Amino acid sequence: MPTFTYKAVREDGTSVADEFTAATVAEVRQALENRGYLVLDVQKKAVFGGGGANPKDFLLFNQEFMTLIKAGLPILQALEILHKRMEKPGYRSALAGIIEAVKGGSALSDAMAAHPAFFPPLFTATVRAGEQSGALVDVLTRHIAYQKRTIALKRKVRSALIYPVFLVLMLVAVLAVFFLYIIPNFTQMYSDQAKLPLLTTALVSFTAFIVSSAPLLGAGLLAALVGLSFWKRTASGRQVLDAITLRMPLVRTVLTQYYMAQLTRTLATVLRGGIPLVQAMETTAGVISNRVIARHLTESRELLTEGVSLADAFDRTKLAPDMTIRMIEVGESSGDLPQMLEDVSDFYEQEVENKLTDLTTMIEPVLMLIMGIVIAFIVVALYLPIFEMGAKLK
């Protein structure tokens, strides 16, 4: 998500200028107003030198940082070593700011929180808990394990989608060649033929429409994609699109399971860091990429503040399936909620992997069948007049 810079006034009258990560300006204003701030200005931050944190770069930084701290180096010295070795300009700039802040007496988590584009709220909240408990190495180790699992799950999802997307693009490309080049050239031989078979006539008419409307259709498609891209960046647009993705046929189940794995894994990691449940819910809501799920999680957090159990809160907000709610209830009863959440996440991650395998196995023959039927229809329509002419000659 993009990073915004803002200027605001606190309730005590003091001013604050800082950064905030959110999807839109409206979300930034709403979050700050919920804190009691009077928002004066919000601007999207221009990040130079390669943008924000890449997940792999962030994982590498955490691994090196944890290794240095585990070896007994002071935090400031570890940061200075990483700053010298860092090749990414954006990270170097962020680390330079963190080093100066730590030298000035700031806590490491507070210094990192000033650079949310490179150190997300989940990480800074975890580091803060590690500082307070004196177990920073343990916290970093758990967060690295969390990052590895998250990156691995995303990689599996992307890998599973690559081949179906490739087949769809190939189908579109083949049809474009047929309708824009092969069919118009092929049907020229029928220009002096008075009557064509109905199937051929329909194909010729449709092809003529595609060819004549190609510039208009292309411009309309481009405008629709650009409009959708801008609309997706708004709070309402993202909310609607996230809701649609959770209702899409075929992928609805696997997407729900993916978000449940993301939610439970993140919540377990934050709780392992020693963060209280209510605060952990707030931190997790900021990590969930689907706004519908994140909103239900925020509603569940509000129920927690009223004394409701986590399982009951999830049940009331319809956030999780019954099986997940029952397992969370067992975790609360046994006093080991983080472990139960990790077990739930393990289950869902395995289910996502299985479902993706089944989905890609099913999609491949369906797309190939559709491609075969469409091409067969075109070939038959093109050669039907020749077949009829041959039958008449006999």
Q: What is the rounded average pLDDT of the residues 248-254? A: 80
Specify the pLDDT at position 194: 58
Cβ pair 269, 146 in contact under 8 A: yes
What is the per-residue pLDDT across 80-111, written as a single tens digit (0 to 9) for each? Answer: 998 888 877 778 888 888 898 888 888 898 88
Identify which of 120, 140, 143 has the alpha carbon closest to the alpha carbon of residue 53: 120
Specify the pLDDT at position 326: 92
Specify the pLDDT at position 276: 87
Specify the pLDDT at position 200: 82
Identify which of 376, 377, 385 has the alpha carbon closest to the alpha carbon of residue 187: 385
pLDDT cut 90: percent of the chain above it: 11
Specify the pLDDT at position 193: 63
On the CB side of 349, CA atoms within 13 Å amount to 22
What letter does residue 226 receive in the DSSP assignment?
H
Q: Note every long-range contact of 146-152, with CB atoms under 8 Å and residues 24 or more positions apart, other chains counting.
A: 146/265, 146/266, 146/269, 147/55, 147/58, 147/59, 147/62, 148/59, 149/265, 149/345, 149/349, 150/55, 150/262, 150/265, 151/55, 151/56, 151/59
What is the per-residue pLDDT across 321-341, written as a single tens digit (0 to 9) for each? Answer: 888 899 999 999 988 899 999
Specify the pLDDT at position 46: 45
Instruction: Decide if pLDDT at 356 tops 50.
Output: yes
267 or 204, which is more confident? 267
Residues in the chain: 394
What is the per-residue pLDDT across 113-138, written as a single tens digit (0 to 9) for each? Answer: 888 878 888 888 888 888 887 888 88
Question: Is the whole model's pTM more than 0.75, yes or no?
Answer: no
65 or 7, which is more confident? 65
Whole-angstrom distance, CA of residue 161 vs CA of residue 356: 8
What is the per-residue pLDDT across 280-306, written as a single tens digit (0 to 9) for each? Answer: 888 888 888 888 888 899 899 999 988
pLDDT tier at 3, thresholds 50, 70, 90? low
What is the per-residue pLDDT across 9-40, written as a single tens digit (0 to 9) for each? Answer: 777 767 677 767 676 777 778 888 887 888 87
Specify the pLDDT at position 343: 92
Q: Which domains does the chain have, with CATH numbers?
A: 3-44 (3.10.20), 55-147 (1.20.81.30), 150-394 (1.20.81.30)
Mean of pLDDT over the chain? 83
Specify the pLDDT at position 50: 39
251 or 194, which is more confident? 251
Specify the pLDDT at position 372: 86
Specify the pLDDT at position 77: 92
Specify the pLDDT at position 44: 66
Cβ pair 257, 153 in contact under 8 A: no
